[in-house]
Structure 1
Amino acid sequence: MSVPFPSATEPAGSRTEVFLRYLAYFRDGVGRRVEAMSEEEARRSRVPSGWTPLELVRHLTFMERRWFVWGFEGQDVVDPDGDEVDGRWFVPTDLGVAEVLAAWRQQAAVTDAVLRRYDLGEVGRPSPRWGGAEPATLERVVLHVMQEYARHLGHLDIVAELGGGVTGEV
């Protein structure tokens, strides 16, 4: 069953709950599209830039880790840009769809725990993630991550449509 689009009229206990609902909706859309693909299709690029759906999911895993763990929480992260090689998204050949999706879901659970643990107005810890700038609030981080999910879900919709897969708000 797919996660419904978060209705503006559905009561929520907090702004954090609203953000968690949107993240769940975007993640569900990504997961359903990639799960519906064969291993071959998930590794196939249908766009001139060359990225694949599997690379996109792995990018989302690292993106969440960079923003919430390395950035907001200021934790040391080994290889925060491990989703890229020579400026391109990358998935090692020994990682299949199931492993990439499992790592992504595990990171999503970590992100959700961070959102539940802190107030949205709390400022992140200093870390190399900020490149010397003042850390952002958790609310700014989650808004950035939601726009990245929305954008990439749109990209994935196009790729899935070209491959005859799951698309749209279903």
Structure 2
Amino acid sequence: MPPFPEPTAPADGRGEVFLRYLDYFRESVLAKVAGLAEEERRGSRLPSGWSPLALLKHLRHVEVRWIEWGFQGRDVGDPWGDWRDGRWYVAPEEGFVELAAALRAQGAHTRAVVEGADLAERGAPGPRWDGADPASLERVMFHLVQEYARHLGHLDIVTELAGGPVGE
């Protein structure tokens, strides 16, 4: 797992800072889900019904929606493929290994995009922006960091309830 991105650690710029936090949060989420028994990965301890596996799938789709569909303006098929009937969804045949690999691959794609662009660059016009002017890559990255941090906090509570790994 990558080390916590200490604020005093030198970085080559804001893009690298964003990427370090995303890498750290992504791997923290994966480590917490890996530390759960299969029934805890698939089940839910919450009234909302989301499962840790659904969270993995959701986070991958969040990166797809903001980086590929939004910033790059790509046709990604179903950008909301993590949703069914108004909630996160994981098919019975989708498992931890597959979802973890997809999340890591998406993270590698995000890294390549950020390393190849300027943070001030605006996203491509398209349906992701729902008629608004596209956001800059910096705003997209800030959004992704908050999304990961928020969901990692949710997962901290769920894994503690399930007897899984606690702490950072």
Pick the TM interval, shorter chain: over 0.9
Number of aligned residues: 168
Structure 1: gaps spanning 5 or more residues: none
Aligned position for 1:114: 113
> The residue matched to 2:109 in structure 1 has which SS?
helix
Distance 1:113 1:139 in 2: 14
Aligned position for 1:78: 77
Counterpart mapping for 1:2-151 below 5 A: 2-151=1-150
> The residue matched to 2:2 in structure 1 has which SS?
coil
Distance 2:116 2:85 in 1: 35
TM-score normalised according to structure 1 size: 0.96
What RMSD, in angstroms, separates the aligned Cα atoms of the two structures?
0.8
Structure 2: gaps spanning 5 or more residues: none
Cα displacement (A) at 1:3: 2.3
TM-score normalised according to structure 2 size: 0.98
8 Å Cα contact 1:126/1:134 also seen in 2 = yes
Cα displacement (A) at 1:168: 1.3
Could you list the per-position Cα deviations for residues 93-139 of structure 1 after superposition, in whole angstroms to 9, with x for gaps in the alignment?
Answer: 11111111111111111111111111000000001000010000000
**Superposition misfits of 4+ residues, deviation over 6 angstroms:** none
Distance 1:145 1:37 in 2: 25
Cα displacement (A) at 1:148: 0.4
8 Å Cα contact 1:34/1:54 also seen in 2 = yes
Aligned position for 1:161: 160
Give the percent of matched residue pairs that are identical in Structure 1 and Structure 2. 58
